[in-house]
Amino acid sequence: MRIGIVVALCALVLPAAALAKGPSQATITGPGLAKPLTLGGRGGWTADSPMTVLTTRGGFFQVAWGGQPERTLPAPPTRKLGPRYRVVYLVPGPSGQNDRIRQDLYPFAHGGPVTYTAAGQRFFKTRRTLGGWFRAGSELKAAVLEAGIPRPGNEARGASPPADSAENRSITWLAAVLALLALAGGTTVVARRRARPAAA
């Protein structure tokens, strides 16, 4: 509940923050993606959109501007990072130029998603990223799954829904109903045949 409230409050100020200090767009590439995922842009800054969650919960502002620096880490919090995805943030500068900040994303790391941003990336002409590792919450994993990153093991099928998804459950339920109807229909036919009197 608290996380949802925080994300919602951040979303209220994000349009201004995105223009002043934050990214306007993010492009994600990595395992299982046939083409890059593009987040953000117009309509991409709703309270729970993947772009909003990625930016506010993935440590962008901490590693770029130093907010809450105690949350950044000098080393990865786990050795089991899982597949790596590259995020390229497009950051509009005050003079109209667009800078790019690159970040590594490990959405399936043991213990929760992890990001890493190299220090020294230049933006806003005179600014440089502080860099570091950042431990994100489970909401970031849910957001990138929603955006189209496949779960580990589904790379060959691209961003296919997991076996227990609502779509697959609906298909299974429909198949079961059709099977029951077919069985009921077959039983009725057999019963009618048995009820017919023998021919004279």
Q: Report, as an integer, the average pLDDT of 43-61.
A: 86
> 18 φ, ψ to 5°?
-65, -35
For residue 67, what are the contacts with CB-CB under 8 A and spacing of at least 6?
61
| 71-101 per-residue burial string, b: 16 or more CB within 10 A, e: under 16 | ebeeeeeeeebebebebebbbbeeeeeebeb
The per-residue pLDDT for 47 is 74
What single letter denotes the amino acid at residue 89? Y
Q: Is 50 exceeded by the pLDDT of residue 170? A: no
> Which of 74, 79, 136 has its CA nearest to residue 105?
136
The per-residue pLDDT for 44 is 61
Higher pLDDT, 96 or 51: 51
For residue 125, what are the contacts with CB-CB under 8 A and spacing of at least 6?
93, 95
Q: Poorest-confidence range of 13-22, 92-101, 123-132, 151-160?
A: 13-22
The per-residue pLDDT for 71 is 81
Q: Is 90 exceeded by the pLDDT of residue 182? A: no
Confidence of residue 34 (pLDDT cuts 50, 70, 90): very high
Q: Report, as an integer, the average pLDDT of 166-189.
A: 40
CA distance 21 to 55: 11
Q: Report, as an integer, the average pLDDT of 120-144.
A: 94
Return the SS3 of 169.
Answer: helix
Higher pLDDT, 139 or 189: 139
CA distance 83 to 107: 8
Extended strands (E) in 58-174: 72-73, 85-92, 98-106, 114-117, 122-123, 127-128, 132-135
Return the SS3 of 98.
Answer: strand
